[in-house]
Amino acid sequence: MPMNATPEHPAAAQSDERSGAQPGAPTALRRTVLIVAAINAAYFVVEVAVALAIGSVALLADSVDFLEDTAVNLLIALALGWSLAARARVGRVLALVILLPAVAVVVQVVLKVGDPEAPAVTPLVLAAAGAALVNLVCALLLARIRAAGGSMVGAAWYAARNDVIINLAIIAMALLTLVIGTGWPDILLGMLIILLNGRAALVVWRLAGEERLAARALAGEDLDDD
Ligand SMILES: [Zn+2]
């Protein structure tokens, strides 16, 4: 992800934003990313609630990604109206907030290693399937405002791919749990997911100070997943 080659001049970033899109596109972009941020925030709450209710480490670890996607899309919306300094402050608070569920995952792992009780399979499968659906819907919403010429479904799948693969892995893990009846698949997948999401807070921290954030989003760049 090329985040180092940022021009230091705000004027350059401004002209870049305008040349990157047709008139009206920033408004459509702002509306869409705000909707996507709201959907991700809502599903973060759902996933955390289910994860804590059934004691699933993997589901809790997956919720970090919903918080990351909330923060990234919120920062894109702020990049269209706020000053860089104000947006950077919000972004750095969001980055710290993302650490909370990440720390909760580590606590859950420590607690469950001593007593690896299996999470309830049905709510686990439903929550993971819901997460896959939410990720696909958000990717389709974003694909509509990005790079108009390309294949929309292809772009949507590319953007959601990593998130959906993890959601499907949780469903597979739930079915394995049904067979072997211990919490170990959940604990191990949860540890893997939190390793994959480990850079989430850092990604948001960096994007907070990214001058060309709105232009990059309009160009259809994948900002949060490598
Ligand atoms: Zn994501």
Cα of 223 from ligand 1 centre, angstroms: 9
Cα of 19 from ligand 1 centre, angstroms: 27
| In-domain check, residue 5 | no
| In-domain check, residue 127 | yes
Cα of 114 from ligand 1 centre, angstroms: 31
Cα of 224 from ligand 1 centre, angstroms: 7
What residue type is assigned to position 4 of the chain? Answer: N
| In-domain check, residue 144 | yes
Cα of 49 from ligand 1 centre, angstroms: 19
Find the domain containing 135 and state its range. Answer: 25-225
210 pLDDT band, cuts 50/70/90, is confident
| In-domain check, residue 112 | yes
Number of domain units in the chain: 1
| In-domain check, residue 35 | yes
The number of angstroms, rounded, from the C-alpha of 216 to the middle of its chain's C-alpha atoms is 17
Q: Does the model's pTM come out above 0.75?
A: yes
Cα of 32 from ligand 1 centre, angstroms: 16
**Whether pLDDT at 88 is above 70:** yes
| In-domain check, residue 152 | yes
| In-domain check, residue 91 | yes
Q: What's the pLDDT score for residue 211?
A: 82
Cα of 122 from ligand 1 centre, angstroms: 23
Cα of 11 from ligand 1 centre, angstroms: 31
Tell me the per-residue pLDDT of 124-133, one tens digit each, with 9 for 90 and over: 999 999 999 9
| In-domain check, residue 120 | yes
